[in-house]
Amino acid sequence: MQDLVKIYNDNTHLIEKFLISTLKRLHIQKVSEESYEELHKTFSSLELMYECNDDLVQASANFGKNIEDLEHIGKNRDYLININDIKDSYYVSEPYISSTTGSLCITVVHKYESGYIFLDFRLRVLLERFYLIESKTLFKEFTRISYACIGGGLLILGIFIAFYGFGSFALYLSSQEDMNLEVVFKPVIALTLGLAVFDLGKTIFEQEVLPRTLNISESFNPKSLVTFMSSIVIALLIEALLIVFKISINDYHDLPYAAMLIVSISILLFVFSRFMPMQSSKKEA
């Protein structure tokens, strides 16, 4: 929601100019269901339309798509407008959450002879018209649902792996078996992998499922990759340490294989350490 307001504020002049110039051409002088239907053909973002008298008290019903709400007649609407700010018979409010529909909107007020005409525009739909945010299509909805299923599956799997780690360790504690290094390390690896999988699922939800603007989708957020890679590297380090302990106890001839694993992880850490300063410098630039 804050992203929508920011994008609107960055393009206020363009949007207000379009709204006011178009309304002047349409020359709306009355509020009715027919007037709303006529305006809605031009403004798909138009949510509500109503009239107030000179004292800014609502004098008509709220007209919308299949809506004619009489409940709000008599309510004072002076909080939406500063009369001194009206220029050339028009005023555009700041974005706010509508108490009637619950959506983020702006209100255009037109001063005419009999009072004021209030036009509520849904901000998201209005920004979609100017291609300032992504518009919803059937394919994008399908993609979004697919990401939601995949991300949800990863979230559930991450939780399951974490509980498996807790459960396996609790099972060892309740059993009569002797405690060893593998009993300690295996649950730690399971919890670390569970954290990585859960964080990956959370990232998919944040980036692909939750509502987002073009600005967000086009920018790369390295935080999710850093968290995921950190969890994987930690799990590999723990596994390498476990292998070294097992080899040192059983057979020293297999120690080179453990050393190769540690070297590989060290190379991964080196690349990872080079990646972080590069992302920090890009962010500062």
CATH number at residue 55: 3.30.450.20
What is the token pair recorded at 4?
């929508």
Domain containing residue 92: 2-129
* 283 inside domain: no
Whole-angstrom distance, CA of residue 268 vs CA of residue 109: 60
Whether residue 275 is predicted with pLDDT greater than 80 in this model: the reply is no
- Residue pLDDT, tens place only, 112-139: 888 899 999 999 889 888 888 766 667 7
Whether residue 213 is predicted with pLDDT greater than 50 in this model: the reply is no
* 239 inside domain: yes
For residue 137, give every residue at least 6 positions away whose Cβ sits within 8 Å of its Cβ, in sequence order, or none: none
Whole-angstrom distance, CA of residue 154 vs CA of residue 33: 49
pLDDT of residue 191: 84
Residues 97 and 174 in one domain: no
Residues 204 and 174 in one domain: yes
Number of domains in the chain: 2
CA angle 14, 19, 25 (to 5 degrees): 125
Residues 267 and 146 in one domain: yes
Model-level pTM greater than 0.75?
no
Are 122 and 132 a contacting pair, CB within 8 Å?
A: no
Are 90 and 20 a contacting pair, CB within 8 Å?
A: yes
* 21 inside domain: yes
Residues 111 and 183 in one domain: no
Picking from 117, 125, 143, the residue whose alpha carbon sits closest to that of residue 45 is 125
For residue 44, give every residue at least 6 positions away whose Cβ sits within 8 Å of its Cβ, in sequence order, or none: 125, 129
- Residue pLDDT, tens place only, 140-162: 788 888 989 998 999 999 999 98
Domain boundary among 77, 109, 129: 129
- pLDDT-derived band at 171 (thresholds 50, 70, 90) equals confident
